[in-house]
Structure formats: structure tokens, C-alpha cells
A = this chain, B = another copy of it.
Amino acid sequence: MTRHVTCIGAGVIGGGWAAHFLSRGFDVVAWDPAPDAGARLRRTVDAAWPALTELGLDEGADRSRLRVAASLGEACADAVFVQESAPEDLDLKRGLLAEIVVATTDDAVIASSTSGFPMGEMATEAPDPSRLVVGHPFNPPYLIPLVEVVGGPSTDPAVTRRAAGFYRATGKTVIEMDREVPGFVANRLQEALWREALHMVANGDATVEQIDAAITEGPGLRWPVHGPCLTFHLAGGEGGMAHMLDHFGPSLRSPWTRLEAPELTGSLRDAMVAGTASGHDYAALVAERDRAVIAIRRAVEQARRP
């Protein structure tokens, strides 16, 4: 029997993962308790396929290599890698991950798409939690490269490495975390922005449409090329992050968001400067950002007028 990738859950994320693995030439077996799961999955895969074709399919990639299994046990039996994308419900995930551990062979890696539960909290019912790891994607998993990989206290470090290697081999960009932080890295960042947005709508400070425009017409245009740290490094001019922190340090005590900032200690300042300044030429970074922002603006303009 051929080994395959198993996708548990047929929602937006589970379906997106199925499309990703199919595009990379794998057999994919899916399972979801919903009666219409098969139809939903195929709709998601069909909607993703033009984008995946445009990006370039791997050899053997074929939508017909998706099979919907009748049971979780059948879906998992021959899996080399299981991606669990069930609803974000801790009790549900605890039970499901335990079932998957039992249903898989000892060499199968089991990754959870959870948006923020640490594996230490999800693995409590599994008879053997060593093969359980978080592999958190971003919607849609077939287009956004990032996967955050982190194990729990009982995860075998070799399993975490295998998961990261497997994702990379399928073209993903992996951030491996060495400790469990609720929400991981990227989700904590976007969740802070999202909660501030909810506060603003709840408080009548801004409308939903203004919030979206504020990002798409503003800082959102810089973030695909330079992350928030390198962006602020450039905001400091030729003095870079050091000048930016010295200049805007006092603003960290202003009520510019509902989130209070940490104290800007000397060691935090040094860490920010070291992480951005080293090895970058200011003028070259400015030119790179400018080329990217122009190209991004044009890309979006064209995508909005099909």
C-alpha cells in the first residue's frame, strides 16, 4: 500500500492543506465527520487549483489523488504525515489527537493546525504524545508559505525536526520555535492588531471599512517585503533602528494602542538594533523597499480587476 498524507478536517484550513499536498504530488486521504465533507473538500481544492497551477504543480500532482475516507481509522492507517485541522476546541482536539495517535503507525508524524493551543495542553489524552507537534499554517495554506512548528514538553525533538523538514520539502517556510508560547509568533502579532481593531469598532473609533483601508493602503503595503522590525529600521533614516528607538521610545508610553509596551531597557534596545542593523546597507534597503512597494501596488491593482 502507498503511504499518503492524511488531512483531518474539511474546513477552510483542512481543505487548503489538502490542495497544497495534492499540488506537491502526494496522495491525500481526508476525513471529516460532516456528511458534506467530500463535496466541501473538492470545492476548496477546485477553487485553489488555478492558483496552484499558476504557481507550478509538482510532478504527479493530480486533484484525483484526493480520497475521502469513511472513518478516521481508515484515513490514518497508512499515513506518513497527518495534518489535523479540526475546529479550535481544546476538548475536541485532545480527543481527536489521541485517536490519531492510536490509528497511525509509530513512524507517522502528527501535526496540528491549531491557531494557538500549546501542544502541551492538547496532548494530555494521547497514549504516546511524542509524535505530536504543532504545524500552524496561515490561510490559505496553499499560498501563504509560513508554518510555525513547535513541539510540546513530551514531543520527541526528532519529530519536530522531521515535521519542519517535511514542510520545507513541500515548499513551505518554517519557523521553528524552541518554546511553547500561546499563539506562537505570527498569530500573536496579527491577533494583537485584530484585537485593537475589534476594540476600535466596539468603541466607535473607526468603521470596519476604515480599518481595512488603513492597512491595505498603509502599512500593509510594506509588510510583504520587510517585516515590522526592518520597516521601523528604515523609519529611523540613516540612523536606523537605534535612531528610531531613541526618537520614538517615549511614544511607547503614549496611549497609541490599548496594549502597553514593555519597558525599553538597554538590552531590549540592543536586541532590536542587532536584529535589524547588521549587514544591511541603508540605501540598498530603501531601494529594495521602493521597488517592492511599487510592484505590490501594481499587483494588487491588477488582481482587483480580473
| A contact set with B: CB distance below 8 Å | 11-12, 47-48, 50-51, 54-55, 87-88, 115-117, 138-140, 143-146, 148, 173, 175, 177, 179, 181-183, 185-203, 205-232, 234-237, 247-248, 250-252, 254-265, 268, 271-272, 274-276, 283, 286-300, 302-304, 306
Provided the pairs A194-B232, A247-B88 are in contact, do residues A224 and B300 lie with their beta carbons within 8 angstroms?
yes
Q: Which has the most chain B C-beta neighbours within 10 Å: A183, A227, A263, A300? A: A227
- CB of B195 within 8 A of CB of A193, answer no
Q: Chain B: which residue is nearest A299 at the CB level?
A: B295
Sample of 8 A–B contacts (CB below 8 Å): A115-B256, A138-B222, A143-B290, A185-B214, A193-B193, A209-B275, A212-B227, A225-B303
Instruction: Assess whether B220 is in contact with A223, with CB atoms less than 8 Å apart.
Output: yes
A226 touches B216 (CB 8 A): yes
Q: In whole angstroms, what is the CA distance A283 to B50 when docked?
A: 13
Q: Are A198 and B262 in contact (CB under 8 A)?
A: yes
Q: State how many copies of this chain the complex holds.
A: 2
Q: Closest residue of chain B to A227, judged by CB?
A: B212
CB distance from A38 to the nearest CB of B (A): 15
- Shortest beta-carbon distance from A96 to chain B in Å: 16
With the chains together, A189 CA to B217 CA distance in Å? Answer: 13
Are A255 and B183 CB-contacts (below 8 A) given A198-B261, A216-B224? yes
> Are A211 and B226 in contact, CB atoms less than 8 angstroms apart?
no
What residues on B are CB-neighbors of A257 within 8 Å? Answer: 183, 188-189, 191-192, 195, 259
A292 in contact with B288 (CB, 8 Å): no
| 4 tightest Cβ-Cβ pairs between the two chains A and B | A208-B275, A212-B227, A220-B223, A183-B256
Q: Cβ of A254 and Cβ of B116 under 8 Å apart?
A: yes
Task: Answer whether A227 and B215 are a contact pair too, CB < 8 Å, given A116-B256, A299-B299.
Answer: yes
Verify A186–B209 contact, CB threshold 8 A. Answer: no
Report the nearest B residue to A216, measured CB to CB: B227
In the bound complex, do residue B143 and residue A293 qualify as a contact, i.e. CB atoms below 8 Å apart? yes
Identity of the chain B residue whose Cβ is nearest the Cβ of A138 in the assembled complex: B218
Chain B residues contacting A50 (CB-CB under 8 Å) are 287, 290
Chain B positions within 8 Å of A296 at CB level: 224, 296, 299-300
Nearest CB of B to A236, in Å:
7
> In the complex, what distance in Å separates the CA atom of A220 from the CA atom of B189?
11
* Contact of B186 with A196 in the complex, beta carbons under 8 Å: no
Q: How close is A272's CB to chain B, nearest CB, in angstroms?
A: 6
Q: How far is the CB of A151 from chain B (nearest CB, A)?
A: 15
Cα A292 to Cα B298 with chains together (Å) = 10
CB contacts (< 8 Å) of A229 on chain B: these are 197, 208, 211-212
